[in-house]
Amino acid sequence: MEQEDHNNLNETAKDQPAVQSIPQGEELQAKVRQALLQIISASTEEELVCGSPERDLTLLRNGKLEEKALLEVYAAVTGLPLLDEQEIKDLNYYPEVTFDFLNTECCLP
């Protein structure tokens, strides 16, 4: 009986697609760098500094890349979908917290 259950579990696992893990850390940086090298002309690999928000912003400020292209690279590398800003609804996480309360309690900058 237990053997049959084990075999059924194995067959079920074979039918389901494998879950893709999202690269992180150095693996993510390496994959992003490879993808960016295909679309950015950099004389040396050291010139292409990426993989952190500050470094990515430097690429944008220097005109090497547009924000949309950077988002597309990260979406492709991670396998996550790239959502259109128009499709994302405004989220109101705490609707019961009012502006007056936040202002009175000095929670706003």
* pLDDT tens digit sequence for 24-83: 778 888 888 888 888 887 655 556 666 677 878 888 888 888 988 988 988 898 888 887
Classify residue 89: in a domain, yes or no.
Answer: no
Classify residue 48: in a domain, yes or no.
Answer: yes
Cα–chain-centroid distance for residue 72?
10
Classify residue 33: in a domain, yes or no.
Answer: yes
Containing domain of residue 28, as a range? 22-78
Classify residue 7: in a domain, yes or no.
Answer: no
Classify residue 104: in a domain, yes or no.
Answer: no
Residue 43, classified by CB atoms within 10 Å of its CB into exposed (0-12), middle (13-18) or buried (19+), is exposed
pLDDT of residue 48: 66
Classify residue 9: in a domain, yes or no.
Answer: no
pLDDT of residue 109: 61
Classify residue 84: in a domain, yes or no.
Answer: no
For the chain, how many structural domains are there in total?
1
